[in-house]
Amino acid sequence: MANEESKQMYLYCSSLFLDRAAYYGLRAILVLYMIEGALDMPREKALRVYGYVTAFLILSEIVGALLGDLVAGNKNTGLFGGLLFMLGSFLLCIEVQWIFYLGLGFVLLGSGFYGPNLFALFGKTISNKDKLMDSRTTLYYLASNLGAVFGIIAIGYLSERVFNYKMGFVLSGFLMLVSTLILFITKLPNLKPIQTKVKGYFSNNYLNLLLIIGFGSLYWFFQNMGEGATMGKIIEVSAAFSELIPSSLFMSIKSYPAFIIGLIAVFVWYAKYMHRFIKLFFGFLSLAIAFILFRFLPEASSELSLIVTFLSFVFFGLGETLVIPTISSLIIKYTPERFYAIVSSLRVLPSQILLVLGAFLPYMPEGSNFNLHLCILGLLIFGVLIYSLRKFFKDEPLTPKEIEEIGKES
């Protein structure tokens, strides 16, 4: 049984890798195709269409999650989403504007149907492995990030340098085909859940879940706001050292520490268990340190600025690796299995709402560090709050006796 569970887990991670490669690879060439391709779309309109992609994807994930959890089943909905994505990718190759929009709609619907339901299936596979759950969710997070970077590099490079944008869409559809086939051949998890009887700050687990999603949303909010506040400084450092490191490569280096740290974390969490709220505390602290380093970044042209920038990337990757998989583990632990996809689709919604509200903050002149200071202060305050709440959450692995009691009750 253990070998079968591990096989399912690795297959779901492989499917996720290819799904993210297909989606982010397609997205990487989308604007260029709209502007430079046969559509000959004005740049402003192309960017506006691209902006709608994120909003529509969030809505499609919610719809796909509702269908998967409540109506058609996670696997069936995921397979349908994969087919929609493939069809949409191929329709994008047709140089007719209304067909292009139809294909883009299919891609976004397909991706939205696929993602949360794949997470639900993955969650059901590891839900009875509380001690090893963080190692598993870190592997899932790693597969997602590696797939995204692979898709951007492979499809982006091949589309611009070797083939053309249409072949990029075809390649994206092919990657999704393989991802869907992996999902098709993977057996459904057939495990008895043991995570349903857990202790949190509130007596109602749904309130505990809201608290966890709230912390995750705050992290993503501060992360996105901080990235916006530091992007100008990163571009300045990149331009100053463009002869040493090409600008296109420099911007992608930010992801590399997260890959290395994530791979190490998979093995560390497999061997050693740490309270998840302590991980969240250190994750918030790490991101705050990354932004503090940017706040006091030396002159862009100095070698020290390059070292400080790379060091901030390391802390950024450490924070992300500590927080995102941990939030996934807590969601799996505190959510009834029949609602995994729904909760997964909703967890990014609060952070997006916060970002929209953040747009109404008073305008700050160029060079102001107000947003960066706000991010640092917020991360430190909520990090300390998370640490203070750790004793209210029973977060050690369940004992054999507890597992037996829950089995009798279920």
Query: Mind listing the pLDDT tens digit for each residue in 300-342?
Result: 667 788 888 889 999 999 999 999 999 999 888 888 888 899 9
Q: Are 125 and 238 in contact (CB under 8 A)?
A: no
Q: Tokens standing for 252?
A: 């992608």
Fold exhibited by the domain 205-409: Growth Hormone; Chain: A; (1.20.1250)
Tokens of 155: 């499809």
Q: Assign 196 a pLDDT band (cuts: 50, 70, 90).
A: very low
More confident residue, 199 or 335: 335
Q: How many Å apart are CA 183 and CA 367, to the nearest integer?
A: 49
User: Could you give the CA distance from residue 379 to residue 377 in angstroms, rounded to a whole number?
Assistant: 6
Where in the sequence of the chain do the CATH 1.20.1250.20 domains occur? Answer: 2-185, 205-409
Mean pLDDT of all residues in 245-265: 79
Q: State the pLDDT at residue 402.
A: 45
Kindly report, residue by residue over 131-159, the tens digit of the pLDDT: 788 899 999 999 998 998 888 888 877 77
Q: How confident is the model at residue 9 (pLDDT cuts 50, 70, 90)?
A: confident
In this prediction, residue 217 carries a pLDDT of: 87
Euclidean distance between the first and the last CA atom of the chain, given in angstroms as a whole number: 20
Nearest CA to 314 among 363, 260, 362, 356?
Answer: 260
Q: How many residues does the chain have?
A: 410
Tokens found for residue 295: 């706040």
Question: Which CATH topology does 2-185 take?
Answer: Growth Hormone; Chain: A; (1.20.1250)
CA-based nearest residue to 274, from 390, 129, 123, 385:
390
Range 387-396 average pLDDT: 75
Residues 312 and 295: their CA atoms lie apart, in Å, by 10
Handedness of CA 343, 348, 352, 355 (dihedral sign): positive
74-83, 151-160, 231-240, 401-410: which range is least confident on average?
Answer: 401-410
- Return the pLDDT at 20: 92
Q: Nearest CA to 260 among 272, 268, 250? A: 268
Q: If you compute the radius of gyration of the chain from its CA atoms, what whole number of angstroms results?
A: 22
Token representation of residue 204: 């109602």
